[in-house]
């Protein structure tokens, strides 16, 4: 798998961190925890490489204290719980509803090369 050099400035102390991280090609992504080498502040990063074969290896990334894949998973649980109560209520009233469950969550991204692509986070099967 490709590795990329990521340089970021810590949100807490403002100092520079330089890392080498694995970076799969979109729609795959890499998610990992970061720890500032100066103050120890922890954050998370999600990154993915532009799939355009003519691109010079650019990548996109999101730095956030929250785990984006974790958010998707929690949201999926919330959705499933709420859909289930909706389905139960509809069943009591003699209504049949069918719901297409998506199996991935898509995040649109744009590369400096002009290419637009998606990152896909698999949604766990929560049956
Ligand atoms: Zn720091
Ligand atoms: Zn690109």
Q: What DSSP letter does each residue of 9-57 carry, written as one string? A: E-TTT--EEEEEEE-PBTT--EEEEEE-TTT--EEEEEEEE---TTS-S
Q: Which two tokens stand for residue 37?
A: 């080498």
45-87 pLDDT, tens digit per residue, is 999 999 999 999 899 999 988 899 998 888 888 888 888 888 8
**For residue 110, which ligand has an atom nearest its CA?**
2
- φ and ψ of 115, to 5 deg: -75, 140
- 28 within 8 A of 51, measured Cβ to Cβ: no
pTM confidence score: 0.79
Residue of higher predicted confidence among 95 and 14: 14
Flag whether pLDDT at 127 surpasses 70. no
Q: Which pLDDT value is given to residue 38? A: 97
- Cα of 57 from ligand 1 centre, angstroms: 28
**For residue 36, which ligand has an atom nearest its CA?**
1
Q: Which pLDDT value is given to residue 126? A: 67
- Cα of 2 from ligand 2 centre, angstroms: 15
Whose tokens are 């003519």? That residue is 54
């Amino acid at each position: 798998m490709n590795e990329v050099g990521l340089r970021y400035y810590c949100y807490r102390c403002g100092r520079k961190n330089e890392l080498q991280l694995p970076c799969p090609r979109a729609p795959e992504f890499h998610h990992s925890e970061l720890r500032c080498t100066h103050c120890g502040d922890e954050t998370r990063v999600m990154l993915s490489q532009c799939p355009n074969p003519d691109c010079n290896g650019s990548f996109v990334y999101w730095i956030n204290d929250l785990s984006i894949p974790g958010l998707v998973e929690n949201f999926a649980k919330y959705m499933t719980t709420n859909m289930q109560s909706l389905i139960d209520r509809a069943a009591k009233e003699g209504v049949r509803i069918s719901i297409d469950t998506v199996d991935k969550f898509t995040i649109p991204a744009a590369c400096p090369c002009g290419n637009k692509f998606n990152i896909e986070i698999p949604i766990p099967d929560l049956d």
